[in-house]
Amino acid sequence: MITLPQSPGFRIEGQRAVVTGAGRGIGLALAAALAQAGAAVTLVARSADEVAAGADAIRAAGGVADHMVLDVSDLAAVADFFSARPAFHILVNNAGTNRPKPMTEVSEDDFDAVMGLNVKSVFFVAQACVRRMIAAPIKGSLIHIGSQMGHVGGRDRSLYCASKWAMEGMSKAMALDLAAHGIRSNTIAPTFIETPLTRPYFEDAAFKASVLAKIKLGRLGTVEDLMGAVVFLASNASALMTGTSLVIDGGWTAD
């Protein structure tokens, strides 16, 4: 009789996860996905009403969730948040921003806002989370939400591309630093995802047509397109993956 190998599976019961920027859109969807896979999820964002409503919805659906108001650009508050809680097994570094404009029009304020949230805050959120993981000790998973623009360039997105390329390099280096502790670091790099935040952009017919021309599968992404990826990277199904990126772009970067 042949003994068949057993799939490690995608369930993450008994694990604690934290998702930043979890009040709506992609962050809320990723929190829901982790809860549906069995994790106890903490939703954090600056918007108290949104994270409270998101946590309520997860609990109403049978999941385990709580919430906390947290501005991830406040590094002292970030340190306090992680030090006051048991170590998390999973971090989803989702909070981010964009100020699309030609590089000739980017201001110092634009630069500081985008690089501050997309790079500096991501780094120090990961650092605070990892310190608790190592002390526990916990073999955990860091999942940073990047972009296809961390793999290619884009018109009017020099600043955003800079931040997301930085995230890719940062995640790879973190993976090397943390491998000995059994902590993995990967990114998810989506194409344009239709959310309440991005929907106004697509009211410009020419812009929408230019986007769809590059997405070879012929449609905008949805938050549901990212939910399987986050569960995969959080679970033992991806146990040998670290320092890499899941590019979910409908073929954009293949051309």
Catalytic residues, which ones? 160
- Note whether residue 179 is domain-resident: yes
pLDDT for res 174: 98
- Note whether residue 148 is domain-resident: yes
182 backbone φψ class: left, alpha, beta (φ>0; ψ -120 to 50): left
- Note whether residue 2 is domain-resident: no
SS (H, E, C) 37-78: CCCEEEEEECCHHHHHHHHHHHHHCCCEEEEEECCCCCHHHH
- Note whether residue 178 is domain-resident: yes
- Note whether residue 10 is domain-resident: no
- Note whether residue 209 is domain-resident: yes
**How many domains would you assign to the chain?**
1
Q: How far is CA 155 from CA 102, 159, 193, in A?
A: 7, 10, 17
29, with CB counted inside 10 A (0-12, 13-18, 19+), is: buried
CA distance 220 to 215: 7
Q: Phi and psi at residue 169, in whole multiples of 5°?
A: -65, -40
Residue at 36: amino acid letter: Q
- Note whether residue 56 is domain-resident: yes
Structural domain span for residue 122: 16-246
Strand partners, 246: 188
Asked if residue 210 lies in contact with residue 143, where contact means CB atoms within 8 angstroms, the answer is no
CB burial readout 167-188, b (16+ within 10 A) else e: bbebbbebbeebeeeebbbbbb
pLDDT for res 197: 80
- Note whether residue 7 is domain-resident: no
pLDDT for res 196: 83
pTM of the model: 0.97
Q: Could you report the average pLDDT of every consecutive run of 10 residues in the chain (255 residues)?
A: 95 98 97 98 97 98 98 98 98 96 98 98 98 98 98 96 98 98 98 90 93 97 98 98 98 95
Largest CA distance in the chain: 69
Strands of 16-20's sheet in order across = 64-69, 40-45, 16-20, 90-93, 141-145, 184-190, 245-248
Residue 147 sits in a domain whose CATH number is: 3.40.50.720
